Structure 1
Amino acid sequence: MDGDHLAGVADLFGGLTRDELDDALDELAFRRDENLDADVDQAVRDYYLVGVDIDGIEMFAPGPVAFPDPPEGAEDLPHILDVERREPPREALAEAVRNRLTTDVDQADAGSERARYLVDVTYDAEAWAPVDLADVRAALTED
């Protein structure tokens, strides 16, 4: 399952805790009678999902590079799971992405493939939420 599909599952609810996301994926696999290959950690690493703390609870919402696309069979998940729709504030999502990008800058060598990817993420994030990431881009492109 790709990052857009994982973001699509989270988008059905606005945001899900890790346990809720795992439950949703388990239910989806059961309904489809197949093993779903879903790497949530990779989706977070690649900014398809963003983890944000809301009232002391970490939840995952669609991230700045995602085009949320619920996978086949996911449309019934909100009726099956006992999870109310949430609306994580855009400002909190923007801050979470800024914090992640700032941390990722320290781990990416300027000019590397990862740095180039993160530069693209900064542009996506600025279009996605109220955040200015020019300083992060500059740090990623320093030689």
Structure 2
Amino acid sequence: MADSGETDDPAPSVAARDDLAGVVDLFGSVTRAELSRALSELAFKRRTEVDDAAIAAAIDVGVAEYAIVPTPRSAVSVDGDPVDPTDPDDDSTGSDRDPTFLAVGPAAFPQLPEGAEDLPHILDVPDREVDREALSDAVLDRLSADAIDAINAGDTERLETLADVTYDIEAWAPVDAEPIRERILAEIDG
């Protein structure tokens, strides 16, 4: 987990992304607001300070690196029932009004950070199930769109990251990312 300590690298470490994935995995799926609260609670338990900007940055990096992935609301259920889109107590839209949840992504090796085992007792977050087929389709679509954006921007570093993700996603779900990978590698080798 990234903290407010001095560092030359503002991006969280790989372990931090895996810690994020571990927290998400603890509940099956969480909203961005729920993950932010969980990270704040962990910081409090450790008697450290983490500001909201550091938490948001850690989540953004986790999403960008495919350690945690946006999950369509339609792919999330609680006790077999779909998440109610009209629930007034549902904060899944959070401050950014993003109507998605977050789930463990293909580039993660989820690990529970110290003290996280108490989070289900601290937070009022239900255990959620995620439809893996719907999630893998959404992640593959996002990977394709991200690849096109990186190609159009000429962002070789991003393309290299996405090339790695094409291998990760094939190990993570029964999808074929080879066409995306070939396009990325052709652009990198260009």
The TM-score, its normalising length taken from structure 2, stands at 0.70
2:165 to 118, 121, 130: 121
Q: CA deviation at 1:75?
A: 0.7
- Deviations 1:95-136, CA, capped at 9 Å, x for gaps: 121121111111224792321221110111111012111111
The residue that corresponds to 2:68 in the other structure is: 49
Contact persistence 1:10–1:16 (CA under 8 A): yes
SS of the aligned residue for 1:108 comes to helix
| Partner of residue 3, structure 1 | 17
Runs (4 or more) in structure 1 with deviation over 4 Å come to none
- Whether 1:107 aligns to 2:149 is yes
Looking at structure 1, the residues matched to 148 and 49 of structure 2 have their Cα atoms a distance apart, in angstroms, of 36
- After alignment, is 89-98 or 50-59 more displaced? 50-59
Match of 1:59 in 2: 101
> Greater CA radius of gyration, 1 or 2?
2
Partner Cα distance (1:40, 1:13) in 2 = 16
Query: After the TM superposition, which residues 1-143 of structure 1 pair with which residues of structure 2 at under 5 Å, given as runs?
Result: 1=1, 2-36=16-50, 37-38=54-55, 39-55=58-74, 57-109=99-151, 112-142=156-186, 143=190
Cα drift, residue 76 of structure 1? 0.5
RMSD of aligned alpha carbons: 1.7
Unmatched 5+ stretches in structure 2 = 2-15, 75-84, 86-98
Q: How many residues align?
A: 143
CA contact (8 A) 1:7 1:69 kept: yes
Structure 2 counterpart of 1:4, one-letter code: D
The Cα of 1:47 is off from its aligned counterpart by 0.5
Q: Which runs of 5+ in 1 are unaligned?
A: none
Identical counterparts, % of pairs: 50
